[in-house]
């Protein structure tokens, strides 16, 4: 009798895993039973299945989307990670429609997305390194340049690049940073601050007609490094013209040519490139340099807009040095987030 009473209590009034597990099984059984024997599960949701296939094709073949019409290819590549948000939407539709065809088709975009971006879901930050660099588009209309400078300097970067420097605000940035950086140079609207001596400072022609890029040799304790700072032209999305990025593309090609001619083997590019690493328009640069974010970063590292980051258009790219970690810094008074990375300049050290 005692055993019978116990079993009744467990079945009807118990709690914990003993009760939750049968409930879950019953729920799954109802779903399977509702679909079992229904031939329509294969005929329903064909449109949803087709959309899933198209989504997979677009993500897998993004490099083949032409730029001839409104730079559609570059626009797609800029926001490519966000295409994954369509998967849960299609999943809900497939379940609501009780479509086995749609559910199976969804495996395609899921596989493609994880192949492209799955690695960014895991923290790959490392340790070590002998040089910390940071870059920040401070926004010409920044209402608190001094506060922005102090916030970025607090990250402890040895080399700091700033873009979109307003001429009237440059003295404010210089004063706010002078206690931490003994060496600095400003060329046009970009500037470089360093704890180590700098030489060979010069403007870099990116075919704009005004100065938005520079180069300097930074004498780090582990050896000289060619540091480039660049702010490529902005891009716009217009209904009548699409993704207007022609000037940005020309400047990227020019910058890529200059970097390719660099004599020093160690090179670092800091700046607002107004493009992501997926954007083919930056191939002249990205084909010869790599981003620490993909190799040793934590997450996607989106940097713009600061209020709701959707794309990483601010970049740290390296060649001849070994990245060890990369991260995004807290928001400042700018519409961009600052980003930082630590690299190993002396790659011969164990």
Q: Report the run of H or E that residue 7 belongs to, with start and end.
A: helix 2-12
Judged by average pLDDT, the poorest of 19-28, 69-78, 95-104, 262-271 is 19-28
Q: What pLDDT shows up at residue 71? A: 81
Q: Write out pLDDT tens, residues 170-185.
A: 999 999 999 999 999 9
The structure tokens 């948000």 sit at: 85
Judged by average pLDDT, the poorest of 33-42, 72-81, 136-145 is 33-42
Judged by average pLDDT, the poorest of 120-124, 152-156, 180-184, 246-250 is 120-124
Query: How confident is the model over 241-264, as a mean pLDDT?
Result: 87
Q: Write out pLDDT tens, residues 183-203.
A: 999 999 999 999 999 999 999
> Is the pLDDT at 65 greater than 50, yes or no?
yes
Q: What pLDDT shows up at residue 8? A: 44
Q: Write out pLDDT tens, residues 286-311.
A: 999 999 887 778 889 999 999 999 99
Q: What pLDDT shows up at residue 35? A: 61
- Evaluate whether 228 touches 187 at the Cβ level (below 8 Å): no
> Is the pLDDT at 82 greater than 60, yes or no?
yes
Preceding omega of 234 cis (within 30 degrees of 0): no
Query: How confident is the model over 136-147, as a mean pLDDT?
Result: 97
Q: Which fold has domain 131-344?
A: Deoxyribonuclease I; Chain A (3.60.10)
pLDDT > 90 in the chain, percent: 73
Residues 101-140 as b/e (b if ≥16 CB within 10 A, e otherwise) read bbbebbebbbebbeebbeebeeebebeebbbbbbbbbbbe
Query: How confident is the model over 239-249, as a mean pLDDT?
Result: 67
Q: What pLDDT shows up at residue 121? A: 86
Q: Write out pLDDT tens, residues 88-115.
A: 999 999 999 989 999 999 999 999 999 9
CA gap 149, 151 in Å, rounded: 5
Give the residue, 140 or 16, on which the prediction is more confident: 140
Question: Model's pTM, two decimal places?
Answer: 0.84
Q: What pLDDT shows up at residue 242? A: 46
- Evaluate whether 276 touches 235 at the Cβ level (below 8 Å): no
> Is the pLDDT at 46 greater than 70, yes or no?
yes
The ranges assigned to domains in the chain are: 37-121, 131-344
Q: What pLDDT shows up at residue 128? A: 87
Q: Write out pLDDT tens, residues 315-344.
A: 999 999 999 999 999 999 999 999 999 999
């Amino acid at each position: 009798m005692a055993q019978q009473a116990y079993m009744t209590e467990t079945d009807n009034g118990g709690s914990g895993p003993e009760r939750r597990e049968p409930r879950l099984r019953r729920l799954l059984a109802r779903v399977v039973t509702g679909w079992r024997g229904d031939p329509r599960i294969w005929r329903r949701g064909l449109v949803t299945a087709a959309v899933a296939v198209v989504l997979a094709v677009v993500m897998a073949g993004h490099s083949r989307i032409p730029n001839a019409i409104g730079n559609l290819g570059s626009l797609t590549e800029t926001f490519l990670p966000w295409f994954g948000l369509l998967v849960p939407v299609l999943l809900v539709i497939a379940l609501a429609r009780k479509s086995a065809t749609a559910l199976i088709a969804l495996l395609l975009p899921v596989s493609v997305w994880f192949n492209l971006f799955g690695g960014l879901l895991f923290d790959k930050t490392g340790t070590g390194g002998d040089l910390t660099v940071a870059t920040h588009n401070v926004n010409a209309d920044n209402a608190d340049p001094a506060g922005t400078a102090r916030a970025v300097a607090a990250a402890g970067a040895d080399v700091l690049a700033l873009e979109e420097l307003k001429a009237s605000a440059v003295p404010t940035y210089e004063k706010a940073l002078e206690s931490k950086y003994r060496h600095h140079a400003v060329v046009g609207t970009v500037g470089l601050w360093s704890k180590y001596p700098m030489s060979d400072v010069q403007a870099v022609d990116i075919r704009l007609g005004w100065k938005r890029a520079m180069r300097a040799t930074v004498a780090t304790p582990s050896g000289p490094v060619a540091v480039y700072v660049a702010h490529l032209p902005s891009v716009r999305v217009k209904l009548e013209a699409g993704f207007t990025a022609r000037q940005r593309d020309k400047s990227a090609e020019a910058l890529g040519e200059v970097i390719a001619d660099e004599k020093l083997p160690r090179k670092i590019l800091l700046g607002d490139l107004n493009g992501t690493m997926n954007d083919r328009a930056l191939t002249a640069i990205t084909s010869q340099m790599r981003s620490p974010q993909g190799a040793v970063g934590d997450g996607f590292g989106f940097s713009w807009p600061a209020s709701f980051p959707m794309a990483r258009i601010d970049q740290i790219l390296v060649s001849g040095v070994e990245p060890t970690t990369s991260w995004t810094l807290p928001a400042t008074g700018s519409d961009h987030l600052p980003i930082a990375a630590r690299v190993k300049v002396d790659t011969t050290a164990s």
